[in-house]
């Protein structure tokens, strides 16, 4: 039985509609006008307990709105949603004790106090006795490689340390579902990797279901066997990441280093020319024609080096959204 189930989930926001300039300001003051902006449209999916699912999409696609509906922060305009056996927006205590939401740009830790003070409050709120709270803090701190940081004011911590402390606070009560909204935003590469390792570890150890939105494809490729791709409020893809890349890009990227420079037109018959700068050429060639095209390239040009790879997923998705293919 799925732990998360959304059927026809829809959210429409009502936003103020104000024209610029003095006239618009006066009109807005005397007769407010608003319009409805659909953020999520008829989205359906289900997630089994213990899964790690990536939630992909450009800014404004509806990812965060969906997370807010799943965590019970906002009411859906239409559709049905169930998380851990509860209707989230009823916000019953047993539901709130079974979930956690971490937002990369927002914090639950008290800014001017050490994380330990916030953790003590969380332990009391979630009904953990002192011994159990201490045990869990020690265990999670070890996994997150946190030590003295827990005794320093949050404002003195680095971004990476702060995010790790936020994760500790979010997981102290052992939620069965963890929602993560851009948990690695702004972190350096090492900190990102540590957060990813921790999430994979916690999922393996405790079976916590994780739904993760991220701008960094590294997070998605490292953690999520399954992805949901949302665009303009619609669910565009629900399945393995490989399937998505295959669907978006049945091509491979071929990088050539030539002995002598050649014009871009010279490669038109081999595939799509992505770039051609002097000795460096980048082509996208359909997979079914890859072997033949590479053989011809080697025969027709003086090639110093050749590399075949899958194009970066973020580039494929970015290109797709720019081209409006997913409308």
Side-chain half-sphere exposure of 64, counting CA atoms within 13 A:
13
Tell me the closest approach of the beta carbon of residue 289 to another protein, in angstroms. 48
Name the residue among 224, 227, 216 with its Cα closest to residue 186.
Answer: 216
Does residue 77 touch another protein according to CB under 8 A?
no
Tell me the closest approach of the beta carbon of residue 162 to another protein, in angstroms. 14
Does residue 37 touch another protein according to CB under 8 A?
no
Tell me the closest approach of the beta carbon of residue 83 to another protein, in angstroms. 12
Q: How far apart are CA 250 and CA 95, in angstroms?
A: 43
Q: How far apart are CA 51 and CA 3, in angstroms?
A: 9
Tell me the closest approach of the beta carbon of residue 230 to another protein, in angstroms. 18
Name the residue among 10, 62, 14, 11 with its Cα closest to residue 34.
Answer: 14
Site residues (CB under 8 A) for another protein, limited to 116-135: 117-118, 120-129
Count residues near another protein (CB under 8 A): 35
Does residue 7 touch another protein according to CB under 8 A?
no
Are the beta carbons of 189 and 219 closer than 8 angstroms?
Answer: no
Tell me the closest approach of the beta carbon of residue 323 to another protein, in angstroms. 31
Binding residue (CB under 8 A) for another protein from 75, 135, 156, 287: 75
Region from 22-30, 90-98, 183-191, 316-324 binding another protein, contact rule CB under 8 A? 90-98
- Alpha-carbon 147 to chain mean position: 28
Does residue 87 touch another protein according to CB under 8 A?
no
Task: Tell me which DSSP letter residue 86 carries.
Answer: B
Binding residue (CB under 8 A) for another protein from 18, 28, 86, 97: 97
Q: Which is nearer to another protein, 153 or 311 (CB)?
A: 153
Tell me the closest approach of the beta carbon of residue 49 to another protein, in angstroms. 20
Tell me the closest approach of the beta carbon of residue 121 to another protein, in angstroms. 5
Q: What is the DSSP string of 7-75?
A: EEEEEEEEEE---SHHHHHHHHHHS--EEEEEEEEEEEEEE-TT-EEEEE--TTSSHHHHHHHHHTSS-
Q: Which is nearer to another protein, 46 or 107 (CB)?
A: 107
Does residue 32 touch another protein according to CB under 8 A?
no
Helix pair 130-144, 189-206: axis angle to 10 deg: 130
| Token pair belonging to 73 | 């922060």
For residue 237, what are the β-bridge partners?
229
| Token pair belonging to 274 | 């992505």
Q: Which is nearer to another protein, 107 or 221 (CB)?
A: 107
Region from 72-80, 193-201, 285-293, 304-312 binding another protein, contact rule CB under 8 A? 72-80
Q: Which is nearer to another protein, 107 or 203 (CB)?
A: 107
Q: Checking DSSP bridges between strand 280-286 and strand 209-213, what pairing results, if any?
A: unpaired
- Contact positions toward another protein, by CB under 8 A? 13, 64, 68, 71-75, 91, 93, 96-97, 99-101, 103, 105-108, 110, 112-113, 117-118, 120-129
């Amino acid at each position: 039985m799925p732990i998360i189930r959304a059927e026809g989930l829809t959210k429409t926001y009502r936003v103020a509609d104000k024209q610029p300039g003095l006239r618009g300001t006066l009109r807005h003051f005397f007769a407010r006008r608003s319009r409805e902006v659909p953020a999520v449209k008829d989205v359906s999916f289900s997630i089994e307990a213990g899964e790690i699912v990536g939630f992909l999409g450009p800014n404004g696609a509806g990812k965060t709105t969906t997370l807010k509906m799943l965590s019970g922060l906002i009411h859906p305009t239409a559709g049905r949603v169930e998380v851990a056996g509860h209707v989230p927006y009823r916000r019953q205590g047993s539901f709130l004790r079974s979930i956690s939401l971490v937002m990369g740009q927002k914090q639950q830790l008290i800014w001017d106090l050490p994380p330990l003070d916030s953790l003590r409050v969380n332990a009391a709120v979630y009904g953990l006795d002192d011994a159990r709270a201490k045990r869990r803090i020690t265990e999670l701190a070890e996994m997150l490689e946190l030590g003295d940081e827990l005794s320093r004011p949050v404002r003195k911590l680095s971004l990476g340390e702060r995010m790790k402390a936020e994760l500790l606070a979010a997981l102290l009560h052992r939620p069965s579902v963890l929602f993560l909204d851009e948990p690695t935003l702004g972190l350096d590469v090492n900190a990102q990797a540590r957060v990813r390792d921790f999430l994979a570890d916690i999922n393996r150890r405790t079976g916590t279901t994780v739904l993760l939105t991220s701008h960094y494809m590294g997070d998605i490729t490292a953690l999520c066997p399954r992805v949901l791709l949302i665009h303009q409020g619609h669910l565009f893809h629900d399945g393995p990441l490989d399937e998505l890349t295959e669907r978006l890009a049945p091509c491979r990227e071929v990088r050539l280093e030539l002995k002598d420079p050649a014009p871009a037109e010279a490669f038109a018959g081999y595939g799509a020319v992505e770039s051609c700068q002097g000795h460096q050429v980048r082509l996208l060639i359909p997979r079914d024609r890859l072997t033949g095209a590479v053989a011809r390239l080697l025969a027709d040009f003086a090639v110093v080096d050749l590399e075949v790879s899958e194009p970066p997923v973020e580039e494929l998705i970015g290109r797709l959204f720019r081209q409006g293919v997913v409308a």
